[in-house]
Copies of this chain bind each other. A is one copy, B any other.
Amino acid sequence: MSKLEILVIDDEPQIRKLLEINLESNGYKVLQAESGKEGILLSANRAPDLIILDLGLPDKSGHEVLKELRVWYKKAIIILSVQNNENDIVLALDNGATDYLTKPFRTGELLARIRASLKRNTSPEGNALNLFNDIEIDFVGRTVKREGDLIKLTSTEYDLLALFANNAGRVLTHQYILREIWGVGLQTETQYLRVFVGTLRKKIEISPNRPRHIITESGVGYRFV
């Protein structure tokens, strides 16, 4: 899994440095902007997973930046500000800020609030369902259905099918499949593959001897449709 990206929009270099160190040591990738304009540009180009926004920017008010971002940016925006007056807090939250922290802040708390915000980013549970005609693969649940009925697959069979499904339409060479599923040591055991394709076909194809999903590409490999 790749690192989550966090964009820091703040004009104070010390704060940016402090955040950079803390965030990177916690496994995040950090992008930096020192003005509102640059921040908006970067958000549009890189689509970070979370934005930390300072209210006191040189070129334009942080409230304005927040408003502009919220037109299209749907993920978490945490406000970080020296302003501790209620009006600013209420305004920011009502403009769609996910959270509001006042400087000086405690890094542990900030990290916890970042975790909480990121958790909610993904919450509308996008069950990664993949449909291939009569075959339905649920990558989250690790289950496979044909015409609504659950099919029992062994773990290798599932891995193989998932590999096919993730490369639907593409021809996968024997070598490549063997390397992905069995590892580099067994790249030459083409017979494994034949056996497993056989059992998979028996389970997911309507007529296994006339496969419509796992197509043989003679001399090369297989293709999933």
A residues in contact (CB < 8 Å) with B: 86-87, 89-90, 93-94, 96-99, 106, 108-109, 111-113, 115-116, 120, 122-124, 138, 140-143, 154-156, 169-171, 217-220, 223
Sample of 12 more A-B contacts, CB < 8 Å, known A154-B218, A155-B219: A90-B109, A93-B109, A93-B116, A94-B112, A97-B116, A138-B170, A141-B169, A141-B171, A142-B171, A142-B217, A154-B219, A155-B217
Q: Which residues of B contact A89 (CB under 8 A)?
A: 106, 108-109, 112
* Min C-beta distance of A219 to chain B, whole Å: 4
Instruction: Specify the main secondary structure of chain A where it touches its partner.
Output: mixed
Q: How many copies does the complex hold?
A: 2
Query: Which residue from B109, B122, B156 sits with its C-beta under 8 Å from A86?
Result: B109
Q: Which residues of B contact A223 (CB under 8 A)?
A: 141-143
A87, A93, A154, A170: residue with the most chain B Cβ atoms closer than 10 Å: A93
Give complex CA distance A93, B138 in Å. 30
* Min C-beta distance of A144 to chain B, whole Å: 11
Q: Which residues of B contact A171 (CB under 8 A)?
A: 141-143
Given A115-B94, A143-B169, A220-B142, A108 and B120 touching (CB < 8 A)?
no
> B86 near A106 (CB under 8 angstroms)?
yes
User: What 9 A-B pairs are tightest by C-beta distance, nearest first?
Assistant: A141-B170, A142-B171, A155-B219, A93-B112, A90-B112, A93-B116, A86-B108, A86-B106, A155-B220
Q: Which residues of B contact A112 (CB under 8 A)?
A: 89-90, 93-94
